[in-house]
Structure 1
Amino acid sequence: MPPIKREPKLGDLIEIDRFGYQHWAIYVGDGYVIHLAPPSEFAEASSSSFMSILTEFAEVRKDLLSKVVGNSNYRINNKYDEKYTPYPVNKILQRAEEMVGERQPYSVYSRNCEHFVTELRYNKAECAQVRILPSYF
């Protein structure tokens, strides 16, 4: 796993580089993250692909950060902290843990992994990367 500048804190958003997009997770402690994982994110990080565009459902998973990251680069990116006030950390963690194992509707445009984690942290489902996806998707 590539080194990072600082250890994630509870409730931090983790942005993980994938080929052509970023996968997002939220740090919940002891090396674990919770993330909305379409089938292309299930096995290992190396199997991720644009196949997630074709799925209608994803699972809320709790996995080791190292397993989700694989050989990819990642960073802590609480990018909306200046725009929105984050929930208290205990509320973020409680909400995230309660959802583990749920099967949720998934849309790359309106309900993806970034929407999921920003809603947990800020109560606002935001995703900047959908604005830059090619229109043929």
Structure 2
Amino acid sequence: MLHTPGVPSPCEPKVGDLIEIFRPVYQHWAMYVGNGYVIHLAPRSEVAGAGSSSVMSVMNNLALVKKERLSDVVGNDAYKVNNLWDYKYKPRHINLILKEAHSLVGQTLPYSIVSSNCEHFVTDLRYGKPTSRQVGHGHIVVSFLGEECHERR
């Protein structure tokens, strides 16, 4: 079920849940870590809530691990809890997930739309397996601004 900002949600995220955020052209992913916060992999120039990157940050192939309020990351976009691989992979223990996620906050990591994007980041935290549904199906697009992103399915 999609959640629209400003509308009460019947399904609030639980610690360790994957959050799929529907940007106008692509999906951004974050991990819910409690108390209204998420941890996510964002291109270094991303402005909270904007969900986009500059040409330079994508060309540098770098991203920053951030801990921010879910409401700030979502902005005006819809989102949903989407633990998309629970049917196939067993989620790791929540304490391990949180320890690893928090240890990465503030670090600059390699970024690749094919192998190290925001979806890979959160699925690796939850399942121990970096996976991207869209990359796996070849749904990659490059926008007119030079941003690398996922096509919405």
Fold agreement, TM-score > 0.5: yes
Contact 1:36–1:59 under 8 Å retained in 2: yes
The residue number in structure 2 matching 1:45 is: 49
Shift in alpha-carbon separation, 1:7–1:46, aligned structure 2, 3 A: same
Q: What TM-score, normalized by structure 2, do the two folds share? A: 0.81
How much does 1:94 deviate?
A: 0.7
The residue number in structure 1 matching 2:102 is: 97
- Residue of structure 2 aligned with 1:82, choices 82, 87, 91: 87
Larger helix share, 1 or 2 = 1
- What is the count of residue pairs matched by the alignment? 136
Contact 2:19–2:30 under 8 Å retained in 1: yes
Shift in alpha-carbon separation, 1:114–1:47, aligned structure 2, 3 A: closer
The residue number in structure 2 matching 1:31 is: 36
Contact 1:19–1:49 under 8 Å retained in 2: no
Pick which of 13-22 and 51-60 moved more: 51-60
How much does 1:50 deviate?
A: 7.8
Q: Please give the alpha-carbon distance, in whole angstroms, between the structure 1 residues aligned to 2:118 and 2:131.
A: 10
How much does 1:128 deviate?
A: 1.1
* Structure 1 residue identity aligned to 2:16: G
Q: Please give the alpha-carbon distance, in whole angstroms, between the structure 1 residues aligned to 2:131 and 2:23.
A: 19
Partner SS, residue 75 of structure 1: strand
The residue number in structure 1 matching 2:11 is: 6
Q: Please give the alpha-carbon distance, in whole angstroms, between the structure 2 residues aligned to 1:80 and 1:50.
A: 30
Q: Please give the alpha-carbon distance, in whole angstroms, between the structure 2 residues aligned to 1:27 and 1:111.
A: 19
Partner SS, residue 109 of structure 1: coil
How much does 1:2 deviate?
A: 4.7
Partner SS, residue 35 of structure 1: strand
Structure 1 residue ranges without an equivalent (≥5): none
- Residue of structure 2 aligned with 1:22, choices 24, 27, 30: 27
Contact 2:36–2:70 under 8 Å retained in 1: yes
Q: Please give the alpha-carbon distance, in whole angstroms, between the structure 2 residues aligned to 1:50 and 1:123.
A: 29
Q: Please give the alpha-carbon distance, in whole angstroms, between the structure 1 residues aligned to 2:88 and 2:125.
A: 15
- Residue of structure 2 aligned with 1:133, choices 140, 146, 150: 140
Structure 2 residue ranges without an equivalent (≥5): 149-153
